[in-house]
Structure 1
Amino acid sequence: MSRETFVVLCAAAAAMCGCQSSKVKISGRIVGTEPRNIYLEEVTPLRQTIVDSTVLAADGSYLFRLRDIAASPSLYNVVYDNERIPLLVEGGDRVTVNSAGSVVRNYTVEGSAESELLREFYQAFVVGAQHLDEIASRFAEPNLSEERHRELMKEYTNEYFRIRREQLRFIVENKSSLAAVYALYQRLPGDSYLFNGDGDVVYYRTVAEAVAERYPGSPYVGALQAEVARMDAQAGLASKVSELNYPDLELTDMYGEKVRLSKVAEGKVVLLDFWSAELGTSNALNADLKELYAKYAGRGFEVYQVGIDTSKPLWITAVQEQQLPWKSVTDLRGRASSALVVYNVQRIPANFLIDREGTIVGKNLYGRSLEEKLEQLLP
């Protein structure tokens, strides 16, 4: 399963400005095992952190108390015997989590509507994944006949698609629930996509719209919309490349006007440059680029610079203070920008040099190496 990606969707839940906060109580009993440590894990944008721990009492009971918890649901895991029980809790919740025997397979939740709904999906999903593992282990049977191999393949395939159908059913039927957001990001072993690759965007968009209606202003909405934008960008990448030899972009400048990369690049050698005012390391690189721009702009050189930022005032201030003379644009999505996905940019700064024929002829060229390439391309 892919908890890492879902972590990003919990980003602002615990840090929303102006929201009320209160106490949360998580308690219950875990029976049928020897008393041992039980942990409470908080899921944040950057990591999963153990925030509390205790030892089960003789009767298997435990208690966690949290303070200053946001009114908007946040993700926590109750961790016991290397198994995780996910909870979506909000300020004021009094949650009871009980289990007997196998923790994940048998746990129950009361006192949190979102957590109860999440249990409905998660428990069945984990049980199904464990069943798949059990079937897969049988392929190692000694002297496995061809007929037995076919039987196991059929059994595995049937179970695999049964789980996926149930996952889809849960998401569609509970599209306005935050539990559906969690379900979107769970993967069976070997899965890169939820159902059929690019078509997944339909489910992400459906959930994003439904959650926005039920929880106006929820931080999950923005994260889901960014995911939809990335998937849309990837879906359209092939057609854009076939038409232009490079992926086209259309982003907004500081005046709110849409600026298309292909329009800027018409008849020009263009540098597509990715930078960030928020990183604070752009001044020197932009200063060098300004010198090259002054030297070659008259010969047909242009720059289309994409700001990977989230603060519009900070980005505009940097553009104005540095007196950047070229096309400066952004979508204000920071690292969630679809432009990064389209060009597979892993780190900032980065750039791509596109010649007059629309071919990408250089990548991450700076200073002298960029100037040498411009001399070759510009008469």
Structure 2
Amino acid sequence: MKTLHNIFFLLLAFIVVSCGGSTENNGTYPAKVKISGTLDGQKEGTQIILYTIQGVGGKKNVAEATTNAKGAFTLEYTVPKIGLYTLNIGNQAEELLVLETKDLKVENNGEFFKVTGSKENDQLNELKDMYDSFTEKGNELQQEYATSENQAAVLEKFKKLQDEQKGAVKAMLKKLDGAYVTLVALNFIQDKEGSFDVISETIQKLETNFPQDSLVMEVAKSYNALKSTMVGAEAMPITLPSPQGETIALESFRGKYVMIDFWASWCRPCRMENPNVLKAYTKYKDKGFEVYGVSIDRDAEAWKGAIAQDHISWTQVLDADGEVAKQYGVEGIPFTLLLDQEGKIIAKNLRGDALEKKLEELLGK
């Protein structure tokens, strides 16, 4: 599969190690399973490593095997419960797979590897093929855009492709009907807010099928955070310390339009955006606009230094342990939310002139 590493790192955006109940997916756990295969083109001694996915960006080696002179191998592992794993094959591929109670087979066609032996992995292969197809089409359009004399027409093709992919993912989610591999399919949704109804329905099925699974609970939690920051939702309470050590509550600015601005001193895009925020704040602070800057810096001195360097004059608080950012589902910074006078979210991630234009609409020139 061409998407091995793409899918793997996509999942690491929010995946944590699963642990939970002992009888899920009609299997009995712990379960002893074998992963085996005879691989073409692999020399004797090629190392096969099974990893569990651990936290953001992490994984743990749980079992190993090596190929014999014919390229054959058998890897044995006791599965504590159904979960997502990766199989590293001689550092040539990192295959994502689902482990449950069934033995699995690995086969290859040159550099492309495939894991089979269970319905979950058959569904995962179907997902990979779908992802490959749309990725290939997207790459072709990128090349066409670079050489086209009618780039607007190519952009229309991009939009059509995105709509097609959105429809295909929704159809796939319905087909999977809450299978464990649905966790992978959710990552293929680009417009999460626009697809929230189908996401909510899918998560409900996952929670019903795997009620004690910590990965399912973690994913559900991340989407609940997304729901809480959608336009129309009321912003969650925040109370954090200022550079002077006094606690400042977001709610204290009710009656004003407030932009919550998640940032950090080490975030270059954040720092580049600060002059735009300063311009808007200077123009509208006397007309009922406030900025509530939430830094996720761990180094308070670096945070204070950036405040001085960027001439930040609006309210600043520090979320050093990242708990507030986690509650708000912040996956990347800068991340901003514009609130109305009652504390409801009316816009997200306004950048550059977009913020000033929105404030002009709300507060006049």
Structure 2-normalised TM-score?
0.55
2:183–2:216 Cα contact (<8 Å) kept: no
Q: Residue 96 of structure 2: SS of its match in structure 1?
A: strand
Q: How does 1:164-203 map to 2 (within 5 A)?
A: 164-186=166-188, 194-203=189-198
Q: Residue 177 of structure 1: SS of its match in structure 2?
A: coil
Query: 2:130 corresponds to which residue?
Result: 124
Query: 1:16 corresponds to which residue?
Result: 20
Q: Residue 146 of structure 1: SS of its match in structure 2?
A: coil
User: Alpha carbons of 1:130 and 1:56: their partners in 2 closer, same or farther (altered >3 Å)?
Assistant: farther
Question: Structure 1: which amino acid aligns with 2:39?
Answer: I
2:38–2:73 Cα contact (<8 Å) kept: yes
* 1:26 lines up with 2:31 in the alignment: no
User: Alpha carbons of 1:174 and 1:2: their partners in 2 closer, same or farther (altered >3 Å)?
Assistant: same
1:309-339 deviation per Cα after TM superposition (whole angstroms, max 9, x unaligned): xxxxxxxxxxxxxxxxxxxxxxxx9678535
Name segments (4+ residues, structure 1) moved above 6 Å. 261-267, 333-336
Q: Residue 194 of structure 2: SS of its match in structure 1?
A: helix
1:88-120 deviation per Cα after TM superposition (whole angstroms, max 9, x unaligned): 102x3311122222415xx2511x322221111
Identity across the alignment (%): 13
Query: 2:49 corresponds to which residue?
Result: 39
Unaligned residue ranges in structure 2 (runs of 5+): 1-5, 24-28, 240-248, 256-321, 336-341, 344-365
User: Alpha carbons of 1:127 and 1:153: their partners in 2 closer, same or farther (altered >3 Å)?
Assistant: same
Return the match for 1:146 from 133, 149, 154: 149
Q: How does 1:163-312 map to 2 (within 5 A)?
A: 163-186=165-188, 194-236=189-231, 240=234, 247-249=235-237
Structure 1-normalised TM-score?
0.53
Question: In 1, distance between residues paired with 2:221 and 2:327?
Answer: 8
Question: In 2, distance between residues paired with 1:155 and 1:345?
Answer: 30
Unaligned residue ranges in structure 1 (runs of 5+): 187-193, 241-246, 252-260, 268-332, 347-356, 359-379
Query: 1:56 corresponds to which residue?
Result: 67
Query: 2:245 corresponds to which residue?
Result: none
Query: 1:109 corresponds to which residue?
Result: 116
Query: 1:338 corresponds to which residue?
Result: 327
Query: 1:6 corresponds to which residue?
Result: 11
Question: In 2, distance between residues paired with 1:71 and 1:65?
Answer: 15
User: Alpha carbons of 1:145 and 1:336: their partners in 2 closer, same or farther (altered >3 Å)?
Assistant: closer
Alpha-carbon shift at residue 80 of structure 1 (Å): 5.1
Question: In 2, distance between residues paired with 1:134 and 1:39?
Answer: 34
* 1:70 lines up with 2:80 in the alignment: yes
Query: 1:306 corresponds to which residue?
Result: none
Q: How many residues align?
A: 254
Q: Residue 211 of structure 2: SS of its match in structure 1?
A: coil
Question: Structure 2: which amino acid aligns with 1:179?
Answer: V
